[in-house]
C-alpha cells in the first residue's frame, strides 16, 4: 500500500456535557511524512489522533484519507489499514511475541504460516532478534515491548501509522534508542505517520512538521521544527517550546563550517616533547591520539605524565553529519573546552574552541535567515 495524505476539514469534537476537546481543526498531514501533535494536557492532540481511525467520531467536519471521508468505510476495516501504537504497547499477554505481530495479517485472511513468516521479518526490521518471537510479552523489557508494538502495527503494511506517546513509558536511554530506530525505520518504509507526544525535544527530533495545540483544542501553529523554533506564532507557542528553544534550533544548523585546529592533536608515541611545547604556547590541554588517529583522551600539557592523566573524550562531532548542537555539546563536555571533530570512521580531524563554534552559529543563523527571506 502507498502512504496516504490525511486531511482535517473544520473538525470539532464536542462531548454531551458541552466540553469541546477539538475545535474547528483544519490540518493536512502530508503523504510519507511524520506529523507530530504537541501541546499541554487536555489540548485535544490524542482526541484528534483517535478520530482518524474512528475510535472517536467528530461532532462536526470531516477527516479525509486521500480525499475519502473515513466515515464512509466500516470502522473495523479502516483500522486494519492503519497501524496503531500506544504508550503501553497493548500486547496480548497470552500470545507469543510472534503471534502478537501476526494478529492483523491473520485477521486479513493471511495463512498462519505466512503471517508468522512476515512477523519474523518485522521483528528483525525493528531491531529484535528472531529468538524473541518465542517469548511472551512479560518476558521482554519495556523497550522491547514497544518495538514489538511497532512491528505489530507494521505487520499488514498499512499506509498510515498512528502513534500515541509510544515511547514515553520507557527510561531516557531506551527512549533515545527507540527514537533513532524509529527514524531509521521511517527512512526505509516512508509511511504517513501521526505521532502524539508532550515532549518538545522528541517532536523536534522526529517531526517533519509539528502541530501545536492549545488548551481547548485549538490548533495554534503548524510548521517545520526549524521554522517553529525560529518564529513561534505567538507567546503561547514560545512559552510551550521553552526558554532554551535557541539551543534546540542549533539541531538544524550544520557544523561543517566550524573552523578546526590540529595544533593540539598529539600522537601518543611522541607526546612528551610536544606537550611541553604546547604548554609553553599557552595550551593547558592536548588531545592524545593513537596511530590510527582515534582519540585516546585529553591530557594536561604539564605536571603529570600523559598516560596517568588522560581524561576521556565524552562526545565527538562529525562535521559531515552532525549539527552545531552536537558540536557545542562536545565542547562543553571537554575539560579543554574544545570540541573534537571526527570523520565517519571516528578518526580525529581536529578540535574547535567555543569561539569557533559560536562564530559558526552566527554565520549559519544569518545564512538561514537569508534563505528564509528569499523564499
275 and 217 in a single domain? The answer is no
- pLDDT given at position 281: 66
- Is 367 contained in some domain? no
Whether 366 is in a domain gets the answer: no
Residue 257 resides in a domain: no
Domain boundary among 196, 220, 252: 252
DSSP 131: G
Residue 241 located in a structural domain: yes
Do 137 and 200 lie in a common domain?
A: yes
Q: Are residues 270 and 248 in the same domain?
A: no
Domain's final residue, options 252, 278, 303? 252
Does 213 lie in the same domain as 154?
Answer: yes
Clarify whether residues 348 and 320 are in a common domain.
yes
178 shares a domain with 81: yes
Same-domain pairing of 152 and 285: no
Across the range 236-244, mean pLDDT stands at 88
Question: How is residue 9 written as a grid cell?
Answer: 476539514
Residue at which a domain ends, from 252, 280, 299? 252
- DSSP code of residue 132: G
> What is the full DSSP assignment across 69-127?
EGGGS-HHHHHHTEEEE-TT----TTS-HHHHHHHHHHHTT--HHHHHHHHHHHHHHTT
- Do both 215 and 307 map to the same domain? no
- Give CA–CA dist 150/190, Å, rounded: 14
Q: Print the domain residue range for 336.
A: 265-361
Count of CB atoms within 10 A of residue 319's CB?
22
d(CA 352, CA 99): 52
C-alpha–C-alpha distance, residues 307 and 141, integer Å: 40
Note whether residue 270 is domain-resident: yes
**What are the start-end ranges of the E strands in the chain?**
6-14, 20-29, 34-38, 60-65, 68-69, 82-85, 160-164, 192-196, 209-214, 218-223, 265-267, 285-289, 295-300, 316-317, 338-342, 348-353
Greatest Cα pair distance in the chain: 81
Q: Which of 58-62, 113-117, 231-235 has the highest mean pLDDT?
A: 58-62
Q: Looking at the 3D structure of the chain, how many domains does it have?
A: 2
Contacts of 233 (CB under 8 A, 6+ apart): 212, 220, 221
Is 248 in the same domain as 297? no
- Is 373 within the bounds of a domain? no
- For 315-337, the pLDDT digits (tens) are 999 999 999 999 999 999 999 99
Domain assignment present for residue 340? The answer is: yes
Residue 270 has a pLDDT of 66
Q: Which pLDDT value is given to residue 273? A: 65
For residue range 90-124, list pLDDT tens digits in order. 788 899 999 998 888 888 788 888 888 888 888 88
Answer yes or no: do 20 and 156 share one domain. Answer: yes
Find all residues with CB under 8 Å of 366, minimum gap 6, and list them.
none
Whichever domain contains 269, its CATH number is 3.10.580.10
Which residue would you say has higher pLDDT here, 79 or 35? 35
Question: Same domain, yes or no, for 95 and 33?
Answer: yes
Residue 83 lies in a domain: yes
The predicted pLDDT at position 204 comes to 92
For residue 103, what are the β-bridge partners? none
**Cell numbers given for 194:** 501521526
Note whether 19 and 156 are same-domain residues.
yes
Amino acid at each position: 500500500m502507498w502512504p496516504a495524505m490525511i486531511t482535517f476539514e473544520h473538525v470539532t469534537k464536542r462531548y454531551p456535557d458541552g466540553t469541546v476537546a477539538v475545535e474547528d481543526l483544519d490540518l493536512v498531514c502530508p503523504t510519507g511524512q511524520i506529523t507530530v501533535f504537541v501541546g499541554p494536557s487536555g489540548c485535544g492532540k490524542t482526541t484528534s489522533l483517535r478520530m482518524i481511525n474512528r475510535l472517536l467520531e467528530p461532532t462536526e467536519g470531516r477527516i479525509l484519507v486521500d480525499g475519502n471521508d473515513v466515515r464512509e468505510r466500516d470502522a473495523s476495516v479502516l483500522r486494519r489499514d492503519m497501524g496503531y501504537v500506544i504508550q503501553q504497547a497493548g500486547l496480548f499477554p497470552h500470545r507469543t511475541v510472534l503471534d502478537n505481530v501476526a494478529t492483523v495479517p491473520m485477521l486479513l485472511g493471511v495463512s498462519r504460516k505466512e503471517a508468522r513468516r512476515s512477523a519474523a521479518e518485522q521483528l528483525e526490521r525493528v531491531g529484535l532478534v528472531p529468538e524473541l518471537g518465542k517469548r511472551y510479552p512479560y518476558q521482554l523489557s519495556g523497550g522491547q515491548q514497544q518495538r514489538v508494538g511497532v512491528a505489530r502495527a507494521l505487520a499488514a503494511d498499512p499506509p498510515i501509522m498512528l502513534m500515541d506517546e509510544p515511547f514515553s513509558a520507557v527510561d531516557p536511554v531506551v527512549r533515545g534508542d527507540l527514537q533513532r530506530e524509529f527514524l531509521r525505520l521511517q527512512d526505509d518504509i516512508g509511511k504517513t505517520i501521526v505521532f502524539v507526544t508532550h515532549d518538545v525535544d522528541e517532536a523536534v527530533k522526529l517531526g517533519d512538521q509539528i502541530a501545536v495545540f492549545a488548551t481547548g483544542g485549538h490548533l495554534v501553529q503548524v510548521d517545520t521544527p526549524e521554522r517553529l523554533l525560529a518564529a513561534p506564532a505567538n507567546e503561547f507557542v514560545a512559552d510551550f517550546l521553552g526558554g532554551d528553544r535557541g539551543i534546540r534550533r542549533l539541531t538544524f544548523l550544520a557544523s561543517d563550517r566550524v573552523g578546526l585546529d590540529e595544533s593540539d592533536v598529539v600522537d601518543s608515541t611522541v607526546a612528551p616533547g610536544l606537550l611541553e611545547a604546547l604548554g609553553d604556547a599557552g595550551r593547558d590541554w592536548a588531545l592524545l591520539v593513537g596511530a590510527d588517529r582515534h582519540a585516546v583522551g585529553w591530557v594536561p600539557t604539564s605536571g603529570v605524565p600523559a598516560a596517568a592523566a588522560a581524561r576521556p573524550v565524552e562526545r565527538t562531532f562529525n562535521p559531515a553529519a552532525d549539527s552545531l548542537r552536537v558540536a557545542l555539546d562536545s565542547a562543553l563536555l571537554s575539560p579543554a573546552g574544545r570540541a573534537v571533530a571526527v570523520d565517519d570512521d571516528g578518526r580525529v580531524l581536529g578540535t574547535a574552541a567555543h569561539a569557533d563554534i559560536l562564530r559558526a552559529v552566527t554565520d549559519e543563523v544569518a545564512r538561514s535567515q537569508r534563505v528564509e527571506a528569499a523564499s
